[in-house]
Amino acid sequence: MSQAEIGLIGLGVMGSNLALNIAEKGNRIAVFNRTVDATRKFYAEAGALKDQIVPCETIEEFVAAIRPPRPIIIMIKAGDPVDQQMEALKPHLAKGDIMIDAGNANFRDTMRRFDALKDSGLTFIGMGVSGGEEGARHGPSIMVGGTEESYRRVEKVLTSIAAKYDSDPCVAWLGENGAGHFVKTIHNGIEYADMQMIAEIYGILRDGLKMTAQEIGEVFGAWNKGRLNSYLIEITEKVLKAADPLTGKPIVDMILDKAGQKGTGKWSVIEAQNMGVPATAIEAAVAARSISSAKEEREAAEKVLGLPPVGEIKVADRDGFIKDLENALLAAKIGAYAQGFAVMAAASKEFGWNLPMPTIAKIWRAGCIIRSQFLDEITTAFTKAPDAANLIVTPAFAAMVKESDGALRRVVSTAVLGGLPVPALASALGYFDSYRRGRGTANVIQAQRDFFGAHGFDRVDGADSHHGPWGSGLNA
C-alpha cells in the first residue's frame, strides 16, 4: 500500500472535516487520535473515502504510514495541548519532517514553537484555517506561516483542499514563523468587527424601528444582493428567519444576548496596541462582547439607570433610513478592514514578514468567515497600490468612503439620540473623522504634557523652542 501524502492528528469536528476534504481531493492521508475509539468511528463513517485514509492506532504506526519528509497537521485545542502533542511526536520524527499547527494559535506561541525546532532538523508551520466546519470539509481559506521550503512540500495538498474564488485557490504562504497565525488572528479581529456592526444595525431595526426578526431578515436578504454581499450578511438573514423548534418563535428572540469569545479578537487588539496602530472598530467589538457577557450586571444597571427616554426612532422617510443603514454598514466595514490591514502592515515591518496585502485579500475572498465581494475590491485596490498608507486613501476606497460616510454619520447620530448603543459604528466614524483631519487637537495634549511633566513639544513654525510659558521657568 502506498504511503500517505500527509498525516493529521486530532479527529474532532474540524480535524475530521479537514481529513475528509484532504481524502476527497485524492490525497492519501494517515489519521490519528488520542482516543482510539474516535479514530475507529471516523474511519467507519468515511464511506467511499476509506480508500484514501489510513487509520492509525499508535503514533509509531501513524508516522510510518506517511511519506517523508512528513507533513503532519495537528488540529487540536490551542494552547498547552499543542506543545504536549509536539513533544509526544518529536521522538518519532526524522529530519525534514514538518509539524503543522492548524488551530487558532496565538502567533507568539507559533513563533516560539518555530524557534524551538530551529536546530532540530524538524520544522514547524503555523497555519490559520478559516471557514468553520463547512469550510474545513469543502474548502477553507488557508493562511500559511513557516519556511517557504516547508510550504512547497504541502502546497499541492493545500491547494487541492482550499476554497476557490473563480479558479484561484484561497491558500498562500504569507511569511516565516508566525505570519500565518498572525493573519488568521487579524481575520478574526475583522470578523468580530463585522459581526458587531451587523448586530448594531440589527439593534437599530429591532429597537429603533420596532421591526420583527422576519422583517429584519428581509432587509439583510435584500442587502445581500447589493454591495454588502457576503457570507456574514447571508447567514444573518438565515438566522433571523429561522424558527425555534420548541416555541415556534424566531430563534433569535430565544437566544440569550451573551456573546462568547475565545481570544483571537482580544489578541488582535493587544497586538494593535503594542504597535501603536488604531484598531478602534475591532476594540469596540471585543469590548461589546465583554459587556454582553455581563448580562446580570446590565439588567441590574437598567433597573438603576433606566433606558434613555427616547424609545422608538421616528424617521420621516423609513425606506431612505434603511438605505442609509446599508450605506452606513458599508462605510463602517471599510473602516474596520482598513484598520485590520493597517495592523498587518505594521506587524509585517515589526516581525520582518513582508506580508503580501493583495494576496491576503485574495485568499479571503472565498472559504473564510469574512468572505465577500468586497474583498475582491480590496484585492484590486492593494494590487494597484501595494504601498498605500491605508486602504481608505486608495482611490477606489476613498471614493466609497466619500459616498457612504454621510449615511454613517446620520445613522450614528440617530442611534445616539435614540439611546441605542452603536460603539463599533461610532468608532469607525470617529476613525474616519480623525484620520482625515490634517490639524487635530493633540496640540492641547502636548501642552498639558509639557505643563505637568516638561515633556516638550514641536512647534508648527519649526522654531527651536520646545516648552511653554507655564511660569515654572521651563521656557526661560
**Binding site as annotated, residues:** 10-15, 33-35, 76-78, 104, 130-132, 187-188, 192, 262, 289, 449, 455
Residue from 110, 264, 339, 394 in contact with ligand 6PG (CB under 6 A): 264
The answer to whether 184 is a known catalytic residue is yes
Is residue 147 a contact residue for ligand 6PG (CB under 6 A)? no
Q: Which of 5, 184, 237, 326 is catalytic?
A: 184
Residue 435: other Cβ atoms inside 10 A: 18
Find the length of the chain.
476
Stretch in the footprint of ligand 6PG (CB under 6 A) among 31-39, 129-137, 163-171, 250-258: 129-137
Closer by beta carbon to ligand 6PG, 261 or else 292: 261
Binding-site residue ranges for substrate = 104, 130-132, 187-188, 192, 262, 289, 449, 455
β-pair partners for 374 = none
Is residue 86 a contact residue for ligand 6PG (CB under 6 A)? no
Residue from 132, 203, 221, 358 in contact with ligand 6PG (CB under 6 A): 132
Q: How far is the CB of 188 from ligand 6PG (least distance, A)?
A: 5
Q: Which of residues 360-399 bind ligand 6PG (CB under 6 A)?
A: 368-369
Q: How far is CA 451 from CA 251, 445, 460, 476, in A?
A: 57, 10, 18, 14
CA distance 421 to 280: 15
| H/E element, 361 | helix 357-363
Report yes or no: 374 and 361 within 8 Å, Cβ to Cβ: no
Residue from 15, 69, 71, 131 in contact with ligand 6PG (CB under 6 A): 131
Binding-site residue ranges for NADP(+) = 10-15, 33-35, 76-78, 104
Q: Is 292 helix (H, G, I), strand (E, B) or coil?
A: helix
Stretch in the footprint of ligand 6PG (CB under 6 A) among 93-101, 107-115, 256-264, 401-409: 256-264
Cell 505594521 found at = 346
CA distance 338 to 186: 11
| H/E element, 53 | strand 53-56
Stretch in the footprint of ligand 6PG (CB under 6 A) among 15-23, 124-132, 434-442, 449-457: 124-132
Is residue 130 a contact residue for ligand 6PG (CB under 6 A)? yes
Is residue 292 a contact residue for ligand 6PG (CB under 6 A)? no
Closer by beta carbon to ligand 6PG, 27 or else 104: 104
Q: Nearest 5°: phi and psi at 438?
A: -60, -40
Is residue 196 a contact residue for ligand 6PG (CB under 6 A)? no
Quote the cell numbers at residue 264.
483571537
Is residue 188 a contact residue for ligand 6PG (CB under 6 A)? yes
In this chain, which residue has its C-beta nearest to ligand 6PG? 130
Task: Give me the DSSP letters along 75-120.
Answer: -S-SSHHHHHHHHHHGGG--TT-EEEE-S---HHHHHHHHHHTTTT
Name which of 120, 429, 174 is nearest 281 in CA terms. 429
355 CB contacts (<8 Å, ≥6 apart)? Answer: 174, 175, 179, 183, 344, 345, 347, 348
Is residue 414 a contact residue for ligand 6PG (CB under 6 A)? no
Determine the size of the site formed for ligand 6PG (CB under 6 A).
13
Q: Is 174 helix (H, G, I), strand (E, B) or coil?
A: strand
β-pair partners for 243 = 250
Is residue 12 a contact residue for ligand 6PG (CB under 6 A)? no
Residue from 260, 438, 462, 473 in contact with ligand 6PG (CB under 6 A): 260
Q: Which of residues 88-117 bind ligand 6PG (CB under 6 A)?
A: 104
Q: Which of 191, 200, 237, 377 is catalytic?
A: 191
- Chain contacts with ligand 6PG (rule: CB under 6 A): 104, 130-132, 188, 191, 260-262, 264-265, 368-369
The catalytic residue positions are: 184, 191
